[in-house]
Amino acid sequence: MSHPTTSKVWIVSNNHEGFAALKQGTKEVPKPDPREVLVKMHAASLNFRDLSIPQGLYPFPLNLPVVAASDGAGEVIAVGEKVTEFKVGDKVSSLFHQGHQYGPLDPRSIRSGLGGAIDGVLTQYRTFPETGLVLAPSHLNYEEAATLPCAALTAWNALHGVTRLKAGDSVLVQGTGGVSVFALQFAKAAGAFVIATTSSEEKAARLKALGADVVLNYKITPNWGEIARQKSPRGEGVDIVVEVAGEATLPQSYQAVKIEGTIALIGFVGGAGKNESALEPLSRVCTVRGIYVGSRAQMIDMNRCIEAHRIKPVVDETIFGFDKVPEAYQFQKDQKHFGKVVVRIN
């Protein structure tokens, strides 16, 4: 069987022109090495991290120009002679950090991020090392499977990375982006009590439909952290806050978390806040844990949970074609989405 020799790609050409830095181009598709897999990519999903790179806001290693995006799913169309884990026809998702197989993240692994340090997945075809892919849950389509590598795995790590979330625990999630929605779904699958925040009644209704026990509108209730503490089981605060907005919302997260609870610090979607809020762990007696996605071993565990509970990722109803990538970036930046923004590649 002949394999494609070139692939259309979207490249981030620099980190100072914003979304104008996104350029279409072509890349040569190499023949898979003995331990590599050739994948026909069918879908990719966007993260806040992808938007931050061309805007010069990304704090981790970059090697520009680079093929954009970390999260993709596709079909295996060829395997190297020493590959044992995959076969032609398998549905697979990419691994965010290609070098992070298990255990803690280290400096070498952090330099293996798709779409940043190395070429990403906004491409028609791509070769991956066998260890750079994970089988997708069987009940998901390509668009759904493309949402798992970053947002889903980050949420999983936030809830299960140190001490596994258990039935009866409580979790607070912020907003309706990918990480927060996945955290809500995973927390409910574990039997946890979930408090969610949002900015609109329409989104509140959707969060309740996904299983949120309490939904707080932060525009109406600016002291949502205090209210979340009051509405948590026993009124003692939540076990885990999935903190995606950053310094601007940390003061409320400190109000919401219980003594000896954990704030899983993931992103900075909310922009800057007051610097002194960083000192709050001393008075709140809680752990603030920085998270940067997760390992391949964690992703395999996560996919087993997704399959066992038949969890369906929440994909925004607006799906973009491969020629509309800049529009997809802008759509997410404008926060018009609920769940994950997906680009259909083929």
What secondary structure does DSSP assign to 174-185, as a single string?
ESSSHHHHHHHH
C-alpha of 32 from chain center: 28
pTM of the entire predicted model: 0.91
pLDDT of res. 105: 87
Beta bridge partners of 113: 97
Helix (H, G, I), strand (E, B) or coil at 341: strand
pLDDT of res. 310: 97
Q: Check: CB of residue 305 under 8 Å from CB of residue 278.
A: no
Measure the CA–CA gap between 69 and 53, rounded to whole angstroms: 10
Burial class (CB in 10 A: 0-12, 13-18, 19+), 93: buried
Measure the CA–CA gap between 171 and 263, rounded to whole angstroms: 10
Token representation of residue 286: 């809680």
Q: Check: CB of residue 88 under 8 Å from CB of residue 78.
A: yes
pLDDT of res. 245: 82
Q: State the Rg of the chain over Cα.
A: 20
What is each CA distance from 285 to 78, 235, 238, in whole angstroms? 52, 17, 13
* Start-end of H helices in 248-344: 250-256, 280-284, 296-308, 325-333
What is each CA distance from 2 to 5, 31, 77, 78, in whole angstroms? 9, 10, 10, 10
Helix (H, G, I), strand (E, B) or coil at 88: coil
Measure the CA–CA gap between 114 and 125, rounded to whole angstroms: 14
Measure the CA–CA gap between 253 and 223, rounded to whole angstroms: 10
Domains along the chain? Answer: 6-147+313-344 (3.90.180.10), 153-290 (3.40.50.720)
Q: Check: CB of residue 335 under 8 Å from CB of residue 32.
A: no
Q: What is the pLDDT along the chain (346 residues), one digit of tens a residue?
A: 567 889 999 999 999 999 999 999 999 998 999 999 999 999 999 999 999 999 999 888 899 999 999 999 999 999 999 999 999 999 999 999 999 999 988 889 999 999 999 999 999 999 999 999 999 999 999 999 999 999 999 999 999 998 889 999 999 999 998 999 999 999 999 999 999 999 999 999 999 999 999 999 999 999 999 999 999 999 999 999 999 987 788 899 999 999 989 999 887 655 544 555 554 554 455 577 878 899 999 999 999 999 999 999 999 999 999 999 999 999 999 988 899 999 999 7
pLDDT of res. 272: 43
Cis peptide before 65 (omega within 30 of 0): yes
